[in-house]
Amino acid sequence: VHDIGKNIVGVVLACNGYEIVDLGVMVACDKILDAAEAEEADVIGLSGLITPSLDEMVHVAREMERRGIRRPLLIGGATTSRQHTAVKIAPAFSGSTVHVLDASRAVGVVASLLSDEQRPAFDAANDSEQQRLREAHGSAVARPLIPYDDALARRPKLDFGPDSVSAAPFVGRRAFEVPLGELVDWIDWTFFFHAWELKGKFPKILDDPRQGAAARELYENGQTLLRRIVGEKLLTARGVYGFWPANSDGDDLVLWTDAARSAEAARFPMLRQQRVTDDKPCLSLADFVAPVESGASDSVGAFAVTAGIGTDALVKRFEAELDDYQAILTKALADRLAEAFAEWLHAKVRREWGYGAGESLSLEDRIAERYRGIRPAFGYPACPDHTEKPRLFSLLDAPAQGITLTEHFAMMPAASVSGLYFAHPDARYFTVGRVGRDQVEAYAARKGMTITEAERWLAPNLGYEPAR
Collect all residues with Cβ–Cβ distance below 8 Å to 359 and sequence separation of at least 6. Answer: 347, 350, 351, 371
Query: What's the pLDDT score for residue 1?
Result: 66
CA pair distance 364, 397, nearest whole angstrom: 33
Q: How many residues does the chain have?
A: 468
Backbone angles phi, psi at 87, to 5 degrees: -85, -40
Q: Is the dihedral of CA 85, 86, 92, 95 positive or negative?
A: positive
| Per-residue tens of pLDDT for the chain, all 468 residues | 678 889 999 999 999 999 999 999 889 999 999 999 999 999 999 998 777 788 889 999 999 999 999 999 999 988 889 999 999 999 999 999 999 988 888 999 999 999 999 999 999 999 999 999 999 888 776 678 999 999 999 999 999 998 898 888 999 999 999 999 999 999 999 999 988 889 899 999 999 999 999 999 999 999 999 999 999 999 999 999 999 999 999 999 999 999 999 999 999 999 999 987 778 999 999 999 999 999 888 999 999 999 999 999 999 999 999 999 999 999 999 999 999 999 999 999 999 999 998 899 988 899 899 999 999 999 999 999 999 999 999 999 999 999 999 988 999 999 999 999 999 999 999 999 999 999 999 999 999 999 999 999 998 899 988 886
Collect all residues with Cβ–Cβ distance below 8 Å to 342 and sequence separation of at least 6. Answer: 303, 305, 375, 417, 419
Backbone angles phi, psi at 140, to 5 degrees: -70, -45
CA pair distance 195, 192, nearest whole angstrom: 5
3-state secondary structure of 375: coil
Query: What's the pLDDT score for residue 75?
Result: 95
Q: Is residue 152 a contact partner of residue 340, using CB atoms and an 8 Å limit? A: no
SS3 content of the chain, % helix, strand, coil (to 5): 45, 15, 40
3-state secondary structure of 362: coil
Query: What's the pLDDT score for residue 411?
Result: 95
Query: Burial, 360: exposed, middle or buried (Cβ in 10 Å; 0-12, 13-18, 19+)?
Result: exposed
Give the angle subtended at the CA of 418 by the CAs of 254 and 436, to the nearest 5°.
60
CA pair distance 231, 198, nearest whole angstrom: 28
CA pair distance 329, 206, nearest whole angstrom: 18
CA pair distance 390, 409, nearest whole angstrom: 8
Stretch (H or E) spanning 107? helix 103-113
Residue 71 DSSP symbol: S
Query: What's the pLDDT score for residue 249?
Result: 97
Helix spans in 363-403 (H) = 363-367, 389-396
The residue type found at 211 is Q
CA pair distance 6, 276, nearest whole angstrom: 38
Q: What global pTM score does this model have? A: 0.92
Q: Is residue 14 a contact partner of residue 23, using CB atoms and an 8 Å limit? A: no
Could you report how far apart the first and last alpha carbons of the chain are, in Å? 28
CB atoms within 10 A of CB 62: 15
Stretch (H or E) spanning 329? helix 324-353
- Judging by DSSP bridges, how do beta strands 73-76 and 97-99 pair with one another? parallel
